[in-house]
């Protein structure tokens, strides 16, 4: 089994019925030339990559830009189309007075499986006290959080909000809250590795492609900069496969995992077993 923990659905036809909203997504997600295609084609791409399930991520940037990039309701719509293939993660705007109420509805009424935050794009520090009611709700409902971590391409957003070290306060204060640091916190991969070693409740995903081919980027990041056996020997229980689709094709990211020098049992952990634990299944 393969589970992709990090996939963006903003250009799937079934939720792209409004041209103005589509243009808003292109501007705020920085994918200006992305083709719109039906969910059926996404399923075919998953099949080609032998991915069994993909987590679809919402993103609420209402306070900064006046709208969501992908709403919780749109995530719900896609999950309902393919409930055996799609897993839905909500998003709420931490700066909204309705954030806790909206998240509770996403969990209870929409049945979404977790929540995604982008501190850089949403404009908050993860260790800010405004997040405490949100974290408490996630612990109450046993829902994991995926945080954008590391650099951001978005020009008017600060990468300091998503530096891996700011998540240490959260891990200490909420030891039962499962946290995934997306993109392995790149370029601060050693800081991310430290957190994975130190905190049982922190994970990281592999959705960190920024240049080169996936195999080349994984080789440079994980084999040369981190060390060729760190994941296999020490971090095999803490790394989740993530593609960052559609910025890169599913299959190319799955194939890149082969450069990580993983024993077969640890490759299984990275591709699915760790995600199953993270999701609380």
202-205 and 86-90: which strand pairing? unpaired
Structural class in CATH, domain 3-279: alpha beta
Q: What are phi and psi of 148, to 5 degrees?
A: -60, 130
Gap between the Cα atoms of 266 and 264, Å rounded: 5
Task: List Cβ neighbours of 199 (8 Å cut-off, separation of 6 or more).
Answer: 168, 171, 172, 175
Please list the alpha-helical segments (H only) found in 115-186: 119-122, 132-141, 168-173
The phi and psi torsions of 96 (rounded to 5 degrees) equal -90, 140
Buried b (16+ CB within 10 A) or exposed e, 209-243: beeeebeebbbebbbeebeeebbbeebbebbbbbb
pLDDT tens profile 139-196: 999 999 999 999 887 777 888 999 999 999 999 999 999 999 999 999 999 999 999 9
Has residue 68 got a pLDDT over 80?
yes
Span 107-120, pLDDT tens digits: 999 999 999 999 99
* pLDDT interval class at 47 (50, 70, 90): very high
Given a cut of 90, is residue 212 above it in pLDDT? Answer: no
**Is the pLDDT at 74 greater than 90, yes or no?**
yes
What is the pTM (predicted TM-score) of this model?
0.95
Domain map of the chain by residue range? 3-279
Residue in 80, 76, 82 with CA at minimum distance from that of residue 91: 76
């Amino acid at each position: 089994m393969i589970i992709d923990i990090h996939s963006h659905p903003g250009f799937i036809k079934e939720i792209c019925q409004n041209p103005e909203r589509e243009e808003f997504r292109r501007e705020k997600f920085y994918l200006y030339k992305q083709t719109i295609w039906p969910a059926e084609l996404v399923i075919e791409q998953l099949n080609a990559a032998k991915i069994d399930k993909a987590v679809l991520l919402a993103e609420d940037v209402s306070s900064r830009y006046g709208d969501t990039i992908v709403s919780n309701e749109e995530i719900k719509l896609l999950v309902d189309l393919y409930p055996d293939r799609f897993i839905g993660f909500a998003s709420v705007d931490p700066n909204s007075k309705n954030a806790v109420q909206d998240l509770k509805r996403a969990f209870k009424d929409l049945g979404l499986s977790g929540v995604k935050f982008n501190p850089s794009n949403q404009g908050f520090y993860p260790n800010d006290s405004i997040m405490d009611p949100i974290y408490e709700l996630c612990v109450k409902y046993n829902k994991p959080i995926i945080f954008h971590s590391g650099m951001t391409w978005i020009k008017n957003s600060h990468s300091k909000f998503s530096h891996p070290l700011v998540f240490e306060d959260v891990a200490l204060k909420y030891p039962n809250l499962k946290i995934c640091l997306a993109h392995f916190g790149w370029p601060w991969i050693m800081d991310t590795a430290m957190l994975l070693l130190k905190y049982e409740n922190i994970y990281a995903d592999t959705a960190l492609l920024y240049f080169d081919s996936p195999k080349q980027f994984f080789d440079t990041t994980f084999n040369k900069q981190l060390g060729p056996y760190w994941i296999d020997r020490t971090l095999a229980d803490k790394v989740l496969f993530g593609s960052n689709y559609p910025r890169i094709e599913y299959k190319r990211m799955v194939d890149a995992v082969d450069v990580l020098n993983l024993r077969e049992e640890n490759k299984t952990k990275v591709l699915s077993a760790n995600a199953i634990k993270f999701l609380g299944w």
